Structure 1
């Protein structure tokens, strides 16, 4: 009979302040992996970083996501769901990515293990929650826009003052500076410079 392939596990641990330690989280997860017969391929640790920060501000978490895409492991282990992040939208996105990559998830404190039939139901519910959140955001946005229009407010970004716009037009006319340089010098967005350049082109045509 062919031996069952050992699952490869990745451990993710995080603490919010430098005076905290990830040792307890890692020890508990290693014990779980040993009991389950999972091989730990790497421990990803972020020290002194809040879970509210995005992936780009958490180097270990970013590496974990990249390695998941490379299929370096079969399951991600974390001590608690709040170690992964604080934003529901980010969490749902991360878990959906794992599901798409066929990478499982184990959360010690919540008792979630998607290698089991009961745990797999979590992934099936993610799409429902994600769509619900998107619908809520759409409804709030539409309601906000309707309220703003009813109050006579002008929507969109405010235009720059006449003097700044004149300076932008002069700078564009000389052609000595690129749009990004003009935007930085005058403290405006690149989109504003692009809009004015487009208006100048239409007028010239």
Structure 2
């Protein structure tokens, strides 16, 4: 029944000391550290920590946001730990899923965060629909005017320029050129 710590910072310039100090003060026998953005799918130190944990162990983090990329990901990690008989502690939030009250508190927080996320998505969709109804469309301004698109088509039809060369001529990506060339032209 070991306590295993996991600490993460997003960049090499950030300091892990506060997290590792807190994890050592929480009597973690081993601490895995990561220098990676939380949005990255690949976090080798987290994978190592998860592989290291055994039934009866507890994974300890200073804050829940150090562990999951999103609420959904955090819930998946926590559910995976629970299935394996591994507890989860978040020191600053006072969460300890090794107790019934801690599990309840964690699931309530996760449900509230997921509800908040769903509300944000719903409001965003409503706002975009209202803007479209007023004739506005989102996204940045097109880098290709109708004239540039015709020039790109002419260059493409001459078959002397590659799509990459055409893209470089107009300062856009190959995807933008393909989009303006139309559906009848596809990447090779």
* TM-score interval for Structure 1 and Structure 2 normalised by the shorter chain: 0.5 to 0.7
Change (3 A) 1:154 1:10: closer
Aligned equivalent of 1:121: 104
Give the TM-score of the pair, scaled to structure 1: 0.63
Deviation for aligned residue 1:176: 3.8
Residue 172 (structure 2) pairs with residue 188 (structure 1): yes
Residue 27 (structure 2) pairs with residue 33 (structure 1): yes
Give the TM-score of the pair, scaled to structure 2: 0.67
Deviation for aligned residue 1:161: 0.4
Q: Structure 2 matches for 1:134-149, cutoff 5 A?
A: 134-149=117-132
Counterpart CA distance in 2 for 1:106 and 1:135 is 26
Structure 1 residue ranges without an equivalent (≥5): 1-5
**Higher percent of residues as helix:** 1
Deviation for aligned residue 1:66: 3.0
Deviation for aligned residue 1:115: 1.9
Residue 147 (structure 2) pairs with residue 167 (structure 1): no
Change (3 A) 1:145 1:55: closer
Change (3 A) 1:146 1:13: closer
The alignment of Structure 1 onto Structure 2 pairs a total of residues equal to 176
Aligned equivalent of 2:51: 71
